[in-house]
Amino acid sequence: MNKSGLWILLTIWCIAVSLGAHPTQSADASSSHQTAMVPLGAQPIDSLWMQAIDAYSQANYPEAFEIYQSIYHRGLVSAALYYNMGNCAFRMSQKAEAILWYERAKLLEPKNKDVIDNLHLINSLITNKIEPIPEFFLQTWGRNVRNHFSANQWAWLALLLFAGALSLTLLFFFGRSRSARRWAFYTAIFVMLLSLCAFSFGMSHKQEITKREYAIVLAPRVSVKSAPDRQGKELFIINDGTKVRIMELVGVYGRIELADGRQGWMEISQAERI
């Protein structure tokens, strides 16, 4: 194999590795069972999953949540699992906990309608009503396009487009017709640009999942201060269920930002990262 062939294979491998992420499942309890049958540890997950579904169907929400939590602690990454845990927490009137799990499910499946609807409903019930700062329409459009697929799906799309661009490049070099070679050349450039866009969207989505810069306040009442210490001036109060962005950490304090742009310091133990 020549150097160009090795370079092509290396590029494909780098794209696959850089965008690799845990698979996500549908947030439907019955279909989730089909994708969650992965034995981890000494016992299979599927039996625990069925026990949780049975407990939930009998309105035993604390037991169902406890079982789902044991599955979570085994390392299963699944939008379906997070969605079901959010449902259990909501049924137990633990609104902040429910928001946390729904947000985690949304992070993996941004277009899941069940997750979005439940999250919208429970956010309408919390005390803090924070109006976000309007953003530039291109930012909204870009995020909506990115969220149309998961990181894995963008990775596969980038690979397919790259393979298409490679095929067109070969046609350009070895095609017999001059017009076909010209068409292959310009089309290859266009397809390669699409591949780069898909790669960029996938990387952006993956970074959002791994960076975990957002958190949900779980404490009932949190005083946000002007400095990272107890002597700092109280700027404002936020309640449980509020979504904050963690900008930096200083000891046990974190500088947070709300959707409306307000910033301050709070004890980071009073919130949990999404």
- Report pLDDT digits (tens) over 7-51: 454 455 455 444 443 333 333 433 333 334 444 335 678 899 999
In this prediction, residue 145 carries a pLDDT of 87
**Residue 256: its pLDDT value, please?**
97
Q: By residue range, what is the domain housing residue 236?
A: 214-273
Q: What is the reported pLDDT for 11? A: 55
pLDDT at 1 (0 to 100): 46
Query: Is the residue at 174 inside a domain?
Result: yes
Predicted local distance difference test score (pLDDT) of residue 20: 45
20 in a domain, yes or no? no
Residue 41 domain-assigned (yes or no): yes
- Tell me the C-alpha distance between 226 and 224, whole Å: 7
What's the pLDDT at 26? Answer: 36
Q: What is the pTM of this model?
A: 0.73
Q: Is 16 among the domain residues?
A: no
Does residue 248 lie in a domain region? yes
Q: Return contacts of 162-167, CB within 8 angstroms, 24+ apart.
A: 162/11, 162/12, 162/15, 162/192, 162/195, 163/12, 164/191, 164/195, 165/189, 165/191, 165/192, 165/195, 166/8
Cα(245)–Cα(235) distance, rounded to whole angstroms? 17
- pLDDT for position 104: 96
pLDDT tens over the chain, length 274 residues: 444 444 454 455 455 444 443 333 333 433 333 334 444 335 678 899 999 999 999 999 999 999 999 999 998 889 999 999 999 999 999 999 999 999 999 998 988 999 999 999 998 888 777 888 777 777 788 888 888 888 888 999 999 999 999 999 998 988 888 888 999 999 999 999 999 999 999 898 888 888 889 999 999 999 999 999 988 999 999 999 999 999 999 999 999 999 999 999 999 999 999 9
What is the pLDDT at residue 34? Answer: 37
155 in the same domain as 72: no
- What is the CATH classification number for the domain harbouring 112? 1.25.40.10
Domain co-membership, 99 together with 41: yes
In a shared domain, residues 33 and 119: yes
What pLDDT is attached to residue 135? Answer: 74
Burial class (CB in 10 A: 0-12, 13-18, 19+), 179: exposed
pLDDT for 23 equals: 36
Instruction: Clarify whether residues 200 and 218 are in a common domain.
Output: no
CB-based burial label for 93 (10 Å; 0-12, 13-18, 19+): exposed
Task: Count the domains in the chain.
Answer: 3
Last residue of one domain, picked from the residues 123, 158, 193? 123
